[in-house]
Chains A and B, each alone.
Chain A
Amino acid sequence: MNVPRFCREIPSRYNLIGTKCENCDTYYFPPRRVCITCRRKGVIREYQFEGSGKVVTHTTIYSAPENFSKMTPYVLAIVELDEGPKLTAQIVCDPSEVKIGMRVKSVFRKLGEEGPDGVIYYGTKFIPA
């Protein structure tokens, strides 16, 4: 992914800033600008997630494309945040440690590298809580 495209979503990627529909009290991460229930009647505000949640499923990646291949094996999971939404993220832990139902909290970490210039991407990962 090129730099401007990645940077556009930096507040969300770095700080877990998503959105909330004030009309139906639904939280969105990744952020949505249209509420899927209320559509145009929705009232969307930015929302800073607490960063706590649990693992609902997980895998350990052994084979990855170029920008992640140096980091294999790494643990990837779907995390359900306490506010409700789910997101895909890496868990910083040993592959044998991760379990379905495990409590996790967000941390700011290096995500990957890309291209010959070695552009480094940062973002949110999770650690066992």
Chain B
Amino acid sequence: MREVAIVGLGCTKFGEMWDKSFRDLFIEAGLMALEDAGMSGAQVEALYGGNMSSGIFIQQEHVGALIADYSGLISNNVPSTRVEAACASGGLALRSGIIAVASEYHDIVISAGIEKMTDIGAEKAMDALAAAADREWEAAVGATFPGLYAMMARAHMHEFGTTREQLAQVAVKNHYHGSMNPRAQFRNRITIDSVISSPLVADPLRLFDCSPITDGAAAVVLVPAERAREFTDTPIYVKAASQASDTISLHDRRSLTSIDATTVAADRAFKTARLERSNIDVAEVHDCFTIAEIMAIEDLRFFEKGRGGPATLAGDTAIGGKIPINTSGGLKACGHPVGATGIKQAVEIAEQLRGDAGKRQVEGAEIGLTHNVGGTGGTVVVHILAR
């Protein structure tokens, strides 16, 4: 296995983009990444596209070929593969691309993620997202995606005394970070009061505890580390790309207050990278709901189990705190185009490590981590990146 580097970054603005199609979004992100790497499309050898549910969102499958076609890569007949693991599709597309380069199968690969969610109504989108859970034994009895995370929140509050205010602070902090990110869907700052007075979605989770429905795409260019300097002065090296699975249903898990696949994937990643938790300067974690960020920072072992809420309220996870989490605004404020999220996380961390994150720059960041969850924890992908 050889070391892999990220040499090009591309990410569209996230939001409700009625004037842009699925193809438009992918092309924009892909060309941005190639431009950033100073590379022509003719050099690309393979494409991996993370996408959860184009079949439901835009009634289009076979999007591997579609994105290769419309980005002009079809003239070389490059192999283009769609990768799906619900909300972790992007993270998995990144890992697939890394494996392809690390194994010497390909030299120059684009890993991308894309989701066009707003062409259908909110109720239908909600049902599409419920497909990340077990359709037969969760969704079929009335479980919604927010409902499943709400049950984790309830159990976490019961077991560790996590409070409503601590959950709300995750959203407040991520909106604050998002306010400094030009790509973010929401750039307004909010207060704890506005979160806890927003409408109930699935008790105890309210509207402002939930990530939004979003259109967006992101892409990165991967090359062997020894060739990275041909394309950029600021290569970002992949120190680990790990993945773990668990039961698809929440009710079959060992614990309702931890996502075990997060801990396993992180342990594998830190072992591969030969790094400690304390080496991480900045992280993007999967905050599809406020409770998800609290569980993530505990299960990644940045904080002791049960201390995620208090640490958040104390400001430890804000820019300037002990370990800044979700400087992009996270899924909550930057937006959550499900298949694109895992790639956007890598783009954000790479920008932080390059020192290009503008107002939200974490001073001196050298090593960062991304954490992407599919469903309620059936798939977790963790990457460690370094400059």
Binding site for B on A (CB under 8 A): 1, 5-6, 9, 30, 56-66, 68-69, 71, 73-74, 76-78, 86-90, 95, 100, 111-112, 121, 123
B276 at interface by CB-CB < 8 Å: no
Inter-subunit contact B127/A86 (CB<8 Å) = no
The stretch from B42-50, B111-119, B144-152 touching chain A is B144-152
The 8 closest A-B pairs by CB, nearest first: A59-B150, A65-B127, A57-B155, A86-B251, A60-B203, A57-B151, A30-B137, A62-B200
Q: Would you call the interface of chain B mostly helix, strand, loop, or mixed?
A: helix
Inter-subunit contact B144/A65 (CB<8 Å) = yes
Among B126, B143, B204, contact of A88 (Cβ-Cβ < 8 Å): B143
Among B127, B146, B150, contact of A66 (Cβ-Cβ < 8 Å): B127
Inter-subunit contact B144/A61 (CB<8 Å) = yes
Task: Give the docked Cα–Cα distance between A59 and B88 (Å).
Answer: 25
B142 at interface by CB-CB < 8 Å: yes
Given A57-B155, A60-B203, A61-B147, A87-B127 contact (CB < 8 Å)? no
B108 at interface by CB-CB < 8 Å: no
B1 at interface by CB-CB < 8 Å: no
Task: Give the docked Cα–Cα distance between A89 and B249 (Å).
Answer: 12
Using A57-B155, A65-B126, A90-B142 as known contacts, list a sample of 8 further A-B pairs with CB atoms less than 8 Å apart, ordered by residue number in A: A59-B154, A61-B144, A65-B124, A76-B143, A76-B147, A88-B148, A100-B154, A123-B141
Residues of A within 8 A of B136 (CB): 1, 5, 9, 30
Inter-subunit contact B123/A62 (CB<8 Å) = no
Task: Give the docked Cα–Cα distance between A1 and B142 (Å).
Answer: 12
Inter-subunit contact A64/B142 (CB<8 Å) = yes
| Cβ-closest chain B residue relative to A80 | B251
Residues of A within 8 A of B138 (CB): 88
Task: Give the docked Cα–Cα distance between A9 and B136 (Å).
Answer: 9
User: Chain B, interface size: which category?
Assistant: 35 or more
Which parts of B197-229 form the interface with A (CB within 8 Å)? 199-205
Inter-subunit contact B251/A63 (CB<8 Å) = no
Task: Give the docked Cα–Cα distance between A62 and B151 (Å).
Answer: 14
Shortest beta-carbon distance, A109 to chain B, in Å? 11
| Cβ-closest chain A residue relative to B256 | A57
Task: Give the docked Cα–Cα distance between A5 and B140 (Å).
Answer: 11
Residues of A within 8 A of B152 (CB): 57
B250 at interface by CB-CB < 8 Å: yes
Among B127, B151, B256, contact of A76 (Cβ-Cβ < 8 Å): B151
Task: Give the docked Cα–Cα distance between A123 and B139 (Å).
Answer: 13
Q: Would you call the interface of chain A mostly helix, strand, loop, or mixed?
A: strand
Task: Give the docked Cα–Cα distance between A5 and B137 (Å).
Answer: 12
Shortest beta-carbon distance, A82 to chain B, in Å? 15
Inter-subunit contact A66/B123 (CB<8 Å) = yes
Q: List 14 A-B contacts (CB under 8 A).
A: A1-B135, A30-B134, A30-B249, A60-B202, A61-B142, A61-B147, A62-B203, A66-B124, A68-B142, A74-B142, A76-B141, A78-B250, A88-B137, A88-B138
Shortest beta-carbon distance, B149 to chain A, in Å? 9
Task: Give the docked Cα–Cα distance between A87 and B142 (Å).
Answer: 12
B92 at interface by CB-CB < 8 Å: no
B19 at interface by CB-CB < 8 Å: no
Residues of A within 8 A of B148 (CB): 88
| Cβ-closest chain B residue relative to A95 | B203
Inter-subunit contact A65/B130 (CB<8 Å) = yes
Inter-subunit contact A59/B251 (CB<8 Å) = no
Inter-subunit contact A100/B155 (CB<8 Å) = yes
Among A9, A86, A121, contact of B252 (Cβ-Cβ < 8 Å): A86
Task: Give the docked Cα–Cα distance between A60 and B150 (Å).
Answer: 9
B158 at interface by CB-CB < 8 Å: yes
Residues of A within 8 A of B144 (CB): 61, 63-65, 68
Task: Give the docked Cα–Cα distance between A100 and B156 (Å).
Answer: 12
Inter-subunit contact B123/A69 (CB<8 Å) = yes
Shortest beta-carbon distance, B230 to chain A, in Å? 48
Residues of B within 8 A of A86 (CB): 251-252
Residues of B within 8 A of A100 (CB): 154-155, 158
Task: Give the docked Cα–Cα distance between A69 and B204 (Å).
Answer: 18
Residues of A within 8 A of B250 (CB): 78, 88
Inter-subunit contact A89/B141 (CB<8 Å) = yes
Shortest beta-carbon distance, B294 to chain A, in Å? 15
Indicate with 1 or 0, residue by residue over B221-257, a CB within 8 angstroms of chain A CB atoms.
Answer: 0000000000000000000000000000111100010
